[in-house]
Structure 1
Amino acid sequence: MSDVPFGFGPPDRDPERREPGRGDQGGGDPFGLGALFGGMAGGGSPEDVLGKMPLFAELQKLMNWSGGPVNWDLARQGAISQLAAGHQPSSEAERTGAAESLRLADLWLDQVTELPSGIERTAAWSRVEWVEQTQPAWTALIDPLAERVVAAMTSALPQEAAMSFGPIAGIMGRMGGVMFGAQVGQALGKLAEEVLTSTDVGLPLAPAGTGVLVPQNLAAFAEGLDRPADEVRLFVALREAASQRLFAHVPWLRQQLQDAVHAYARGITIDREAIERGINEAMSGGLGGGLDPSDPESIQRLLGSGVLEPEETPEQQMALRRLETLLALVEGWVDTVVAAAAADRLPGHAALAETMRRRRASGGPAEQTFATLVGLQLRPRRLRDAATVWGAMGQQHGSADRDRLWSHPDLLPTSEDLDEPLDFVARQGFDDELAALNADDADRPAQEEPPADDETGEEPGQRP
């Protein structure tokens, strides 16, 4: 999958992975502001510059957005404009095929998991429909991140610098919603070209109870796989149906995933002292020229210097580990139950499962979404370890005990448990035996104590 420039996460910390000429993706301008001010270098106002960009032909009215930190009208418009050239509405035959595949997938899954179906209705979305129908879920996930980024940038500016920036600081505030709206729109457009279902990014994005396939992307995914199209569709339907079961019947799971993202957002801070040093250096000419608030080029140099790069705190690192572990556990469970349901029924299951693993390893929708959203690089090893836990739990303790781990978040393996997945599985059997012994002890009536000598009416030492 190609780059998805959400722009919220910190830039790549590995210099070898940075590519020259990638703008906000490769340097110290993680929020993409350099391009904006660079366009103003000729002395034009933001309205003049943006008015010349095709995507922002009607930007002036969008600048009045007051619906939150992300201009979702602009995001939707940008994503749909990006998809317009290759848009293919779903046909009646595709909708019928999606419904039949999802229903059959649910029947197969009934035999391998204790969790009941989570699908109440089926849908075959076009790419544009995917953007439109998933927007409420994206709003709930992304708005807190964008709001925190803007707040961190504003609060980190020293008072003297804010006064020096004058109109520029005001422009930054006005452009926040537009900037994030443009980036999110571009990202959603890219995702819409690749996602196969409503849960392909690791989160349920469709309205509750709706199982979704994206036929146009399924056709592209099936090319070159040397498997029948209906077999590929059924395999993907199994993954969607399994994910829907998990999120429908583990009510805390969606919230836990969102809380981990938002916990990361709450920790976003920008080093104020670094900004002061950067501004002082810029004013003294140390950044390729002095800082002139009236010169957009000098503003761009400051933004590209890295002083606005957010620092990652220990709390954020904990939130990322929790998010990574949860996503791995979800993906591992889906892999496990789909394999159990399809291994003896779907001739091409092994090849399709390997294709899905390679897709993840090379950066599928879930990996790219969280890498660009919160700087999280999902590690394939975590996914393998999670799948090992679920597979071993099913083999050693049965599907009921395996799925029982989802009954409470404290029962799930932690990141440390995934380091030794088989040890975690072995402990489950020991814990069950210990719980059974404790239950037997609790149910066994206490033995009666022999009466004391003074309760028998006999003199001490006279008892036979």
Structure 2
Amino acid sequence: MSNQGPANGDDQDPMEEMFRRMFGDNAPDPEEIQRAMQQFGASGMPFDPSMMDPQMMQNIMAQFQSMMASSDDDGPVKWDLAKQTARQSIAGQDPSVGSFAAKEIDDALRVADAWLDQATTIEAANVPIVAWSRAEWVEATMENWREMTEPVAVSLSEALTRAITEQLPGQLPEELQAAFGQMQPMMKNLGGSMFGLQLGQAIGELAQEVLSGTDTGFPIAGQRMAMLPVNIEEFGDGLSVEADQVRIYLALREAARMRLFANSPWLARDLMAMVQQYAAGISIDVSAIEDAVQTLDPMDPESMNQMFSGSMFIPEPEGAQKAAIDQLETLLALIEGWVDVVVTEAAKPLESAEALREMINRRRAAGGPAEHAFGSLVGLDLRPRRLHDATKLWTIIQEAEGVKYRDAIWESQLRLPTNEDLDDPEGYIKRRKTADEQSASLDDDLKKLLEGGFDEN
């Protein structure tokens, strides 16, 4: 292949141009690739890049270069590519947050905290208030997403890379194998790059849907109350509700969750521990990956993306992994159920509170497209499936024992309701009192033993 192209760029052979842009001076011979692809063409049609839309070809080349390129990431997953992809997916549709919008968020959260003081005994979270653009949310939360997904990502990317490098060359026509061999050094990046691309796209989609820092149920934004004005505005479109009411209602939910996370530090740790316990038990379906690689077109980056569609390569959880998922879903439901009950009380001054509550609970229970995409990617569903049961449980506890008793439950992991309590919410208080009495009796016996208070007889 000559590196001296025609003087007129318009006369550049499209195949040669495509591979030059892909691989620079190390590009395979385009004529060899052309002959092979004409035999290998999908549905009997020869591959002809001259028929491609120029912008589409440019996008594909950029994506392929990113997937193949080395990076500062030493591990098997390309986290910098994930962040880059997330940022690119929201480019052009992410207005910056102006001072007026930031003040509206600040005002809404301060009103929310004042109203929550009348609905819960858990103190306000003394954390910063921020109003973020989508890109700012991506930047601020990416490290936490990495921590949550890394065990799954590493296992999956390593299995993908192994299957691709071992199987893919043998699937190609003889004419293409020689040229494809030149790409082998770059293929070691492919599994991690594919996962990085997909994770970035899922997080980019989430960035267009999340309303606040805790909207996923996790304190993904860290110790701060964060809200996204552009997403809140889009959420309110078509609801026939005043914008300030929407902001305050969503601020109530954000501030309520942050009270839990700030005053029960073990809560965020337990959530992450459950995610890590789930991830530690992940087993990748290698045979499914191998089957997917059989249909992979190495010259079509879009076919690589499609490998991640559907059920993915993570089998249904069993045993300890299933128990971890159940614990995680229960805790997410308890958090969101408590928030629902507290915010319902605090939001009484809002004329549209009930309509907004119904809208949020429906959205939370069903999950949005981005949540489904994320769940498909790592096998982790962010939705609290038993939200209705948890709301009913907290309501029963509050009516029977009062707000102080209800909120004191969050002081210790040992007092938190279980799946059994969600199945039988009316029996929680009786079971809790019996457990407290048994614990008190054991404490008394231990104290007597230490003080030598038991009779020898």
TM-score, structure 1 normalization: 0.71
Q: Quick one: distance in 1 between partners of 2:136 and 2:235?
A: 19
Aligned to 2:83: 76
Tell me, what secondary structure is at the counterpart of 1:53?
helix
Q: How does 1:40-439 map to 2 (within 5 A)?
A: 53=60, 55-56=62-63, 59=66, 62-152=69-159, 173-208=188-223, 210-270=224-284, 309-312=313-316, 313-343=318-348, 345-364=349-368, 367-368=371-372, 371-377=375-381, 382-432=386-436
Of structures 1 and 2, the one scoring higher in RCO (CA 8 A, sep 6+) is 1
| Greater share of residues in helix | 2
Tell me, what secondary structure is at the counterpart of 2:188?
helix
Tell me, what secondary structure is at the counterpart of 1:212?
strand
Q: Quick one: distance in 2 between partners of 1:184 and 1:415?
A: 31
Tell me, what secondary structure is at the counterpart of 1:59?
helix
1:400: Cα distance to partner?
2.4
Evaluate the alpha carbon distance shift between residue 448 and residue 332 of structure 1 in structure 2; reply closer, same or farther with a 3 A threshold: closer
Tell me, what secondary structure is at the counterpart of 1:63?
coil
1:403: Cα distance to partner?
2.1
Which region of structure 1 is more displaced relative to structure 2, 190-199 or 72-81?
72-81
Is the 1:342–1:349 contact (alpha carbons within 8 Å) kept by the matching residues of 2?
A: yes
Q: Which amino acid aligns with 1:335?
A: D
Is the 1:201–1:369 contact (alpha carbons within 8 Å) kept by the matching residues of 2?
A: no
Q: Quick one: distance in 2 between partners of 1:374 and 1:318?
A: 17
Q: Quick one: distance in 2 between partners of 1:93 and 1:385?
A: 40
Tell me, what secondary structure is at the counterpart of 1:70?
coil
Evaluate the alpha carbon distance shift between residue 320 and residue 435 of structure 1 in structure 2; reply closer, same or farther with a 3 A threshold: closer
Q: Quick one: distance in 2 between partners of 1:197 and 1:307?
A: 28
Q: Quick one: distance in 1 between partners of 2:376 and 2:287?
A: 26
Q: Which amino acid aligns with 2:350?
A: L
Q: Quick one: distance in 2 between partners of 1:38 and 1:265?
A: 39
Evaluate the alpha carbon distance shift between residue 425 and residue 120 of structure 1 in structure 2; reply closer, same or farther with a 3 A threshold: same
1:127: Cα distance to partner?
1.3
Aligned to 1:17: none
Is the 2:206–2:371 contact (alpha carbons within 8 Å) kept by the matching residues of 1?
A: no
Tell me, what secondary structure is at the counterpart of 2:94?
coil
1:111: Cα distance to partner?
2.4
Q: Quick one: distance in 1 between partners of 2:221 and 2:298?
A: 47
Aligned residue-pair number? 393
**Structure 1 unaligned regions, length at least 5:** 1-36, 450-464
1:416: Cα distance to partner?
3.0
1:446: Cα distance to partner?
12
Q: Which amino acid aligns with 1:100?
A: D
Alignment RMSD, CA only? Answer: 4.3
Evaluate the alpha carbon distance shift between residue 87 and residue 307 of structure 1 in structure 2; reply closer, same or farther with a 3 A threshold: closer
1:221: Cα distance to partner?
0.9
TM-score, structure 2 normalization: 0.72
Q: Quick one: distance in 2 between partners of 1:448 and 1:416?
A: 37
Which region of structure 1 is more displaced relative to structure 2, 117-126 or 351-360?
117-126
Evaluate the alpha carbon distance shift between residue 132 and residue 438 of structure 1 in structure 2; reply closer, same or farther with a 3 A threshold: closer
- Percent identity between matched residues is 40
Evaluate the alpha carbon distance shift between residue 57 and residue 374 of structure 1 in structure 2; reply closer, same or farther with a 3 A threshold: closer
Aligned to 1:13: none
Q: Deviations over 1:392-417 (max 9, x none)?
A: 22221222222222223232222233
Is the 2:332–2:384 contact (alpha carbons within 8 Å) kept by the matching residues of 1?
A: no
Q: Which amino acid aligns with 2:319?
A: P
Q: Deviations over 1:161-181 (max 9, x none)?
A: 799799698655321232122
Q: Which amino acid aligns with 1:325?
A: T
Q: Which amino acid aligns with 2:268?
A: R
Is the 1:80–1:189 contact (alpha carbons within 8 Å) kept by the matching residues of 2?
A: yes
Is the 2:332–2:383 contact (alpha carbons within 8 Å) kept by the matching residues of 1?
A: no
Q: Which amino acid aligns with 1:375?
A: G
Q: Deviations over 1:69-101 (max 9, x none)?
A: 432322222222221222211111111111111
Q: Deviations over 1:179-219 (max 9, x none)?
A: 122112211211111111011111112242x2111111111
Q: Which amino acid aligns with 1:319?
A: A
